[in-house]
Amino acid sequence: MQAVNKVVILGGGSAGWMTAAALATVLKNNYAEIVLIESQNIGTVSVGEATIPQIALFNSILGIDENEFVRETQATFKLGIEFANWKQKGHTYMHPFGNFGADMDAIQFHHYWLKMFQKGQAEDLDAYSLAAVAAKQGRFMRPQNRGNSPLSKIAYAFHFDATLYAKYLRKIAVSRGVTRIEAKMEDVCIRDTDGFIDSLVLDNGQVINGDLFIDCSGFNGLLIDKTLKSGFEDWSHWLPCDSAIAMPCSAKHDVYPYTVSTAQEAGWTWRIPLQHRIGNGYVFPSQFVDTQKAIDVLTQQMENAPLNEPNILRWKTGMRKEFWVKNCIAIGLSAGFIEPLESTGLHLIQAGIAKLLGMFPYQGCEQVEIDAYNEQTRLEMERIRDFIILHYAVTEREDTEFWRYCKNMPVPDYLRQKIDLYKANGRIYRHGTELFNETSWLAVMNGQGIMPKGYHPLVDTLSEAEIYSRLVHIKQVIDNSVNVMPTQAAFIDRYCKAIS
C-alpha cells in the first residue's frame, strides 16, 4: 500500500473541476499534487444546471464569494421546482426549498394541514411555503437574521451555466496549484501486482502517473468501467427516459426564481432561467418519442427563438455497481446517471467529493474504506432514484402509453413502503442520510395526488378552530414576509448582475 502523493483527475466538466477545486482547497500545503486532464475536443454535457441548496455549502468550503460566483456564471436564484401536468394535465404544484408551515407541539405541520384540507378549511399546501409563494411572485432575497420569521429560513439554490461554472472553478483550482493538462487520454496502464491504475497515457505521448485517479470522464467511465470493469446497474425499467435535447433561448427580463418541469405525453421539459438566457430541454424516452418529435415539442414550448442548434444527449439511467475500485473513484456521470428532474446532478458530484474528503486515502486505499464509500454512495443513489420514480409512478395520468406504463410499473420496495406509510396516516420519515427530507417527500407525494387516509392522531387533541386560526396565521406571516422581498430581477441587479 502506498501513500497518495498525486491525484489525477480525468475529465474537466463540472465534476472534474469541482473535484479539483475542492481537493486543491482542502489538501493544503501541497499535501498531494493534483493534475487534471481535459481536452477541448471532448464536449462537456453541461446544459445549464439547476441546483439544490446544498451547493451553497460546497461554495462556502471553497471560500467562494457568492455574488462573484453568480456574476461569473450568469446565475439566478432558485427557490424550488414547479411541476406542471405531472399529477394530471393542467395541474401544477411546487416542490419548494424550505419548510411548509411550522411544526406544532412536535407534530409535523402537514398532519394539521391534512386534517384541515380534507375538511376544506385549508388552502393548497404551497400557500404555506414561503419559498413557493415568493417563487410564484418572482421575489427573492437571501435569508435574514430575523429570529422566528420565515425570512430567516429562506433556503435557495441557483440556476447557472455549468460550462461557466466549470470555467470559474478551473480558475480557482489552477490558482490553488492544480496542474491542468490539455490532452486526450489514449490508454491506461495497470499495475501488474495489484491491478491498480498506474498511469494514463495521453495522445501527446505523455504518461501521467498517479496514486489516486478520479474518473470524471462522463457516461463512459473510461477508468471506472472501461478499465476497472466496475459494472453497471441498469434502472431504465423504472426510469425509461434515456434522451434529452437541450436548446437555450434568450432570457425574459422578469426571471422567476424557480425551475419549471412540465410533463409531456412522454417525459418532461425543463425551463431553467439564467441571467442571459433561458435553458430549455426535453427529457424523453426514445422508446416513445423520436428525436424530431421531441425537438418540435420543445420548440413549440419555448417563449423565444432558440439560440443554438439542439444539443442531443443519450444515456442509460442507473449506477455503477462500484464507485470506488482499487485506486479509482468515479465522480459525476461516470458514477451513474439520474435524470435532472430534481436537479441532483451537481449534488451527487458534491456528495461524492464530500465523502472522498472524509475518507481521503492518505496512506493508501484500504478495502474497508472503499467498501464504506461504495455502500454510502449506493444508498444515496438509490434513495434519490426512488424519489425520482415517485414523480412518475404516482400519477393520475393515463392519457398516453408512457404514463400508463409509469403508473402501472412495479416500484422499488423502499418507495413502496414510503408511499404506503404516507397513504396510511401521512407519516414520512427520513431514512438515514437520504438527501430529500420530509418536506420534499411531502411536496411531491401531495403534489402527485396522494391523499392519506388519516393523519397523526394527536392532531385531534387540538380543536379544529384552534388549528384553523393557526393556519391562517402562518399563511399571513408568509404573505407578509414575501411582501418585503424584492423581485429577483431587482435583487440581481443590485448585488450580482453578470457583466454581459
What is the binding site for other proteins (CB under 8 A)? 2, 5, 186-194, 196, 198-199, 201, 203-205, 207, 209, 220, 222, 226-227
Three-state DSSP state, 314: strand
Catalytic residue among 78, 87, 326, 355, which?
78
* Dihedral sign for Cα atoms in the order 47, 313, 280, 124: negative
The answer to whether the CB of 330 falls within 8 A of the CB of 265 is: no
| Residue closer to other proteins (CB basis): 204 or 483 | 204
Cell of 486: 424584492
- Judge whether 78 counts as a catalytic residue: yes
Q: What is the dihedral of CA 380, 45, 252, 88, to 10 degrees?
A: -50
C-alpha of 271 from chain center? 15
Helix, strand or coil for residue 216? coil
Burial class of residue 219 (count of CB atoms within 10 Å of its CB; 0-12, 13-18, 19+): middle
DSSP 316-373: --EEES-SEETTEEE-STTTEE--GGG--HHHHHHHHHHHHHHT--TT---HHHHHHH
Query: Cβ distance 270 to 93 under 8 Å?
Result: no
Integer Cα distance of 214 and 11 in angstroms: 9
Backbone φ and ψ for 8, nearest 5 degrees, come out as -115, 125
Handedness of CA 473, 475, 476, 478 (dihedral sign): positive
C-alpha cell at 280: 430549455
**DSSP 8-state class, residue 192:** T
Contact predicate 140/77, CB 8 Å: yes
Residues 66, 440: Cα–Cα separation, whole Å: 25
- Tracing cell 414510503 back to the chain, one arrives at 418
C-alpha cell at 428: 414520512
Distance of alpha carbon 480 from the chain centroid = 30
Question: What is the torsional sign of CA 336, 279, 277, 275?
Answer: negative
Rounded to whole angstroms, the Cα distance separating 243 from 294 reads: 10
Residues 6+ apart with CB under 8 A from 172: 21, 24, 25, 62, 64
Nearest CB to other proteins, comparing residues 116 and 202 = 202
Beta strands across the sheet bearing 232-234: 232-234, 318-320, 336-337
- Is 367 buried (19+), middle (13-18) or exposed (0-12) by CB count in 10 A? exposed
> Catalytic residue positions?
78
